[in-house]
Each structure stands twice: as C-alpha cells, then as structure tokens.
Amino acid sequence: GAGVSQSPRYKVAKRGQDVALRCDPISGHVSLFWYQQALGQGPEFLTYFQNEAQLDKSGLPSDRFFAERPEGSVSTLKIQRTQQEDSAVYLCASSLGFRGGPSYNEQFFGPGTRLTVL
Amino acid sequence: KNQVEQSPQSLIILEGKNCTLQCNYTVSPFSNLRWYKQDTGRGPVSLTIMTFSENTKSNGRYTATLDADTKQSSLHITASQLSDSASYICVVSAGSGGGADGLTFGKGTHLIIQP
C-alpha cells in the first residue's frame, strides 16, 4: 500500500479484556516497530521486528504485551487483561532497511490505534 | 542515558508569525537528528533529517539547524499557517545499528496557531 495502515483506529476495552491491534507496513519494508504514546508524550519504543524475527522486545512493559509478525509483513500487538494504564496511542512504523543499513532509521509511521481502557 | 529535551512544551502564536522550537540532546554516538510533525490523531511525519556535518536544512517554511558541538537543534517555522498546528517531535539516532532503542524521542512541542 501507499503507507502504513493500522486497525482499528479506535478501541475501547473494559479492564481485563484482551485486545489485538493490527499493523500493515509498507510493502517490502523489512523492519517494523511498535511504539506506545501516552497523551502529551513522545512515542516510547515497545518492540522491533526484522522480517518475521522479533529481535528486540525490551520495551514491552509487561508479559501481558505480546507481538508477532509471522510472515514478515502484517504484525499484531496483543494486550492481555488490559489495565487502565494501557490507555494510549499505539503507533506502528516500518522502514525499508535491515538493522545497521542506511535506511534502517528512516521510519514511516501509521496513524496509530487509540486504546482506551475503562 | 540518552536523552532528548524539547522546549517549550507548548506554544501559541498568531497566524503569520514566526517561531522557533528547541531540541537539546545527550545522545552518543550521534548519527542523525530528525524533526517530525505529528498532527492530532495521526502518526509522525518526517520534516527534516540532519547528519553530523550539516548545519542547516530547509523544507519549505521549515528550517532546521544543528550545532553538534553544543548538541542543540532548532526548528524555525516562517510565516506560520493554521495547518502548522501540531506536535513537533525531535528524534536523535545513536547510530545505524544497535536496535530500535538507538532512537531517542523527545516529548514534543505542542504548537497552536491562532487566526
């Protein structure tokens, strides 16, 4: 596609529910990133994929957060037993290059999914 | 610890006026610095990227400067328009490797342009 797309754009969940957020990166982009952005803050790194391999998950705040990219394209961020502190915008970004390459850090962002946990 | 500090936190100016946003960083080793514009409800969009050897780069009414010695960058907006209302995020890269945490994001400056 022309850009990174995310769905749903908005999600309201009751505390304790599980949610799944989808990211469709730009076709052919090797690298995929997930970020969490609280209101009025900059994005905070969650996890990184290179193709289907999850090479860095150091930013995931707890074991309730799980991400996958099984075929190296679409990615899903799953949050189990959601808590109110999980309320945020979840941004997905993709870049063309591999880690260490010149285009690795040229990230293109999706519009985000705004998650509200009641 | 790598950090990026932006100021002011928020800014309100009248349409047509100029403004300058600041970014100070303590990121090492330095690779590049990007300014992103994030409209409400949208993802960040890159405005400029600057490497160590670049002092100034322009993109239309946006001009970014970089002083690698003092580790400071600024984003100057000329003749502001209502559509400039957004958050402006400074992002510093600590190198082309090292994983995604090689990027350090500032918290952004929230700019409001009033008619």
Cα-Cα-Cα-Cα torsion B10, B63, A34, A53, nearest 10 degrees, comes to -160
Rounded average pLDDT over B2-27: 95
* Cβ of residue A4 closer than 8 Å to a chain B Cβ: yes
Nearest Cβ partner of B96 from A42, A91, A100? Answer: A100
Conformation bin of residue B41: beta by default, left when phi > 0, alpha when psi is -120 to 50: left
| In the block, residue with structure tokens 């002011």 | B8
Contacts of B99 in chain A (CB under 8 A): 48, 55-56, 58, 99
Contact predicate A76/A34, CB 8 Å: no
Distance CA A78, CA A22 (A): 9
Q: Please enumerate residues of B whose Cβ is less than 8 A from a Cβ of A.
A: 4, 31-32, 36, 41-46, 49, 89, 93, 96-103, 105-108, 110
Residue range B2-16: average pLDDT? 95
pLDDT above 50: residue B99: no
pLDDT at A105 over 80: no
AA letter at A20 = A
Q: Is the pLDDT of residue A18 over 60?
A: yes
Q: Which of these, A117, A94, A116, lies nearest to A9 by C-alpha position?
A: A116
Residue A51 burial (10 A CB sphere; 0-12, 13-18, 19+): middle
**Number of neighbouring beta carbons within 10 Å of residue A88:** 20
Q: Where are the beta strands (DSSP E) in A25-81?
A: 31-37, 44-50, 53-56, 65-68, 75-79
Question: What is the pLDDT at residue B16?
Answer: 97
Q: Which of A16-20, A47-51, B48-52 is predicted least confidently? A: B48-52
Computed over every residue of chain B, the mean pLDDT equals 91
Residue A15: predicted pLDDT: 97
pLDDT 10s digits, B52-95 = 888 999 999 999 999 999 999 999 999 999 999 999 999 998 86
Whether the bond between B29 and the residue before it is cis, its omega within 30 degrees of 0, is yes
pLDDT at A93 (0 to 100)? 94
Residue A53 has pLDDT above 50, yes or no: yes
Residue of A95, A28, A59, A111 whose CA lies nearest to B45: A111
Rounded to 5°, the CA angle A109-A110-A114 comes to 120
Instruction: Count other Cβ atoms within 10 Å, centred on residue B58.
Output: 12
Rounded to 5 degrees, φ, ψ at A68 are -145, 160
The residue count for chain A: 118
